[in-house]
Amino acid sequence: MVHSEVKARVEQVYREESRRILATLIRLLGDFDLAEEALHEAFFVAVERWQQDGVPDNPRTWLVSTGRFKAIDVLRRRARFNASRPLLLAQLEVLEQADWSDEDVEDDRLRLIFTCCHPALAADAQVPLTLREVCDLTTEEIARAFLSAPATIAQRIVRAKAKIRDAKIPYQVPSLAELPERLDSVLRVIYLVFNEGYSASIGAQVTREDLTREAIRLGRLLMELLPEPEVMGLLAMMLLHESRRVARTCANGELVLLDEQDRTLWDGEMIAEGCSLVERALSSRRFGPYCLQAAIAAVHAEAPSVDETDWEQIVGLYDVLLRAVPSPVIELNRAAAISKHDGPLAALIQVEAILARGDLLDYHLAHSARAEFCRQLGRVEQARGAYERALALTQQAPERRFIEGRLKALR
> What's the domain count of the chain?
1
**Contact present, 46 and 29 (Cβ < 8 Å):** no
Average pLDDT of the residues in 3-19: 86
In a domain, 395, yes or no: no
CA distance 48 to 278: 50
Residues 164-194 have pLDDT tens digits of: 888 888 877 777 777 777 788 889 889 988 9
In a domain, 20, yes or no: yes
In a domain, 330, yes or no: no
CA distance 90 to 79: 10
Amino acid at 290: Y
Amino acid at 235: L
396: helix, coil or strand?
strand
**Contact present, 75 and 91 (Cβ < 8 Å):** yes
In a domain, 6, yes or no: yes
In a domain, 14, yes or no: yes
In a domain, 142, yes or no: no
In a domain, 11, yes or no: yes
- Spell out the residues 6+ positions from residue 328 whose beta carbon is closer than 8 angstroms to its own: 354, 359, 360, 366
Mean pLDDT rounded to a whole number for the chain = 88
Q: pLDDT-based confidence at 407, cuts 50/70/90? A: very high
What is 163-204 written as a DSSP string? HHHHHT---SPPPTTTHHHHHHHHHHHHHHHHHHHHS-SEES
Residues 186-235 have pLDDT tens digits of: 898 899 889 988 988 777 888 888 889 889 988 998 888 788 899 999 99
**Domain housing 17:** 1-103
In a domain, 31, yes or no: yes
